[in-house]
Structure 1
Amino acid sequence: MDSTYNLNGGFKPTLKRFADLQGPDYFPTPEWATHALIANEQFEGSIWEPACGDGAMSRVLETTGSPVLSTDLFDRGYGEAGVDFLKADHVADNIITNPPYNSAEAFVKAGLVQARCKMALLLRLAFVEGANRQRTIFAKTPPTRIWVFSERITFYPAGAVQKGSGTTAYAWFVWDKQDMGKTEMKWLPLGYKSRYSAKGVKEAKNPMLFR
């Protein structure tokens, strides 16, 4: 367990990752966050989403045209259930997922073994901090690129009304096995949130709304 994700004995952000720890409850990744990744980072070959939930991220990844394997430890109505990523021996060209906070470091270590080409993990920007991660991850296998979200991601329980804005900064951490050794920090362009939100999709399908 990653102890640096605790604040006064509670996980943070409390609501989101406390639900993850309980198993059946989960907070799907907003589709626009995945669109932002694939628009700025190229992935060639197969993709494995090992914490697929209800398929929110997998469905976006499938738009790349690459074969996508979707698995999850729990049965959330999508992909193959009962697959523990940390114990699986499957190998894919690329691994892309939003790991549970309490298993983030373990996902990094496992993914570096199971990904042939690239691994991209959606993590709190604060993941760059911490003496333990510096020793066990960053000093040995630093990410190639960190794509920082300028727009805040808000995670909602499945089926909840989406309103308000998150207060936690997130980033895509990308390990490219063909370019390891140094880290480049980049900022994702603005606009993905509005373009791929429910409102943005509706406008894109109805050009009259732009007139």
Structure 2
Amino acid sequence: MTERSNTETMAGRDDAESSARPGRPIHISGYDRKGRDFYATPAWVTEALLRHVRFRGRVWEPCCGTGAITTVLQRHGYEVTSTDIADHGFGTPGIDFLGCGAVPDGCRALVTNPPYGDTGSHRGQEKSPAAMLRFVEHALRLTAGVQGQLALLVRFQWVAGQRAAALMSAGPFAAVIALTQRICWFDRGADTNAAQHHHAWVVFDHAHPPGQPPALLFAGADRPRPQGEPPRTAP
């Protein structure tokens, strides 16, 4: 799930039921979803990324929503350019990431919660994983132009998919940061069965040494970095 409106979604309850294979059990959270599937990324998720990765220069958040990821990045001293296809009262609205031909001036890293789930986007829009794959491929092309870095929050099972594996094998894949706690996307997530998926950050770095294997790292919400300890740069 994601915090955005141009954005990732799991299909709605009706879509899930109609598209399931016969005899396959359906998991329903029982919690009413917000319109257009807009959910902010919890701060601990971005904090987990920053415990392992140091970004070089200004960061672009192209699906900024209300600024959940941006706020954490800024708190850690990063300058951030925040854009979104929709207007949520934060950043620069009306910017379609897939229509951008380059990263904003001065940016050398892209950090975001991509706009597609594993079951599809908004009603009437194309389904994942093809849409998700195009998003990642476009992000890699843009960051390649500045020899930059790319960090994307994805469901962990996406990493094991054939399309993702082919993409990561061919690209400057630097690290997977597995989140050891599941993300509750709802305000009452702790009181429901909504937190049903594992997530991870996948990190690409166009300066990653060719042939060097990516790192497998772990992070959760329960281990803050000691004061004064610098973040680790993903190998």
TM range (shorter): 0.7 to 0.9
Counterpart-to-counterpart distance in 2, 1:149 and 1:25: 22
Superposition deviation, residue 38 in structure 1: 1.2
Instruction: Kindly indicate whether the alpha-carbon contact (under 8 Å) linking 1:96 and 1:120 is maintained by their aligned counterparts in 2.
Output: yes
Q: 2:182 aligns with which of 148, 152, 172?
A: 152
For residue 111 of structure 1, what is the aligned residue in structure 2? 139
Instruction: Kindly indicate whether the alpha-carbon contact (under 8 Å) linking 1:118 and 1:177 is maintained by their aligned counterparts in 2.
Output: yes
For residue 93 of structure 1, what is the aligned residue in structure 2? 108
Instruction: Indicate yes or no: 2:184 matched with 1:170.
Output: no
Counterpart-to-counterpart distance in 2, 1:121 and 1:140: 17
SS state at 1:86 partner = helix
Per-residue Cα deviation, 1:48-73 (whole angstroms, up to 9, x for no partner)? 00010011111111122222000111
For residue 184 of structure 1, what is the aligned residue in structure 2? 215
Q: How does 1:1-211 map to 2 (within 5 A)?
A: 9=19, 24-91=36-103, 92-101=107-116, 102=128, 103-115=131-143, 116=146, 117-135=148-166, 137-141=167-171, 143-156=173-186, 160-164=187-191, 166-179=195-208, 180-181=210-211, 182-188=213-219, 191-192=222-223
SS state at 1:72 partner = coil
Counterpart-to-counterpart distance in 1, 2:28 and 2:199: 15
Change (3 A) 1:53 1:33: same
SS state at 1:172 partner = strand
Counterpart-to-counterpart distance in 2, 1:54 and 1:68: 14
SS state at 2:180 partner = coil
Change (3 A) 1:108 1:149: same
Equivalent AA in structure 1 for residue 154 of structure 2: L
Equivalent AA in structure 1 for residue 181 of structure 2: E
TM-score, L = length of structure 1: 0.74
Q: CA RMSD in A?
A: 2.8
Q: Which runs of 5+ in 1 are unaligned?
A: 196-211
Percent of aligned pairs sharing the same letter: 30
Superposition deviation, residue 143 in structure 1: 2.2
Superposition deviation, residue 40 in structure 1: 1.7
Equivalent AA in structure 2 for residue 155 of structure 1: W
Number of equivalences: 179
For residue 230 of structure 2, what is the aligned residue in structure 1? none
Change (3 A) 1:162 1:131: closer
TM-score, L = length of structure 2: 0.67
Per-residue Cα deviation, 1:115-159 (whole angstroms, up to 9, x for no partner)? 232100000011122223333x12311621000011111112xxx
Equivalent AA in structure 2 for residue 127 of structure 1: W
Superposition deviation, residue 90 in structure 1: 3.1
SS state at 1:96 partner = strand
The answer to which structure has the higher strand fraction is 1
Counterpart-to-counterpart distance in 2, 1:13 and 1:140: 35
Counterpart-to-counterpart distance in 2, 1:143 and 1:27: 27
Q: Which runs of 5+ in 2 are unaligned?
A: 1-9, 21-25, 117-127, 225-235
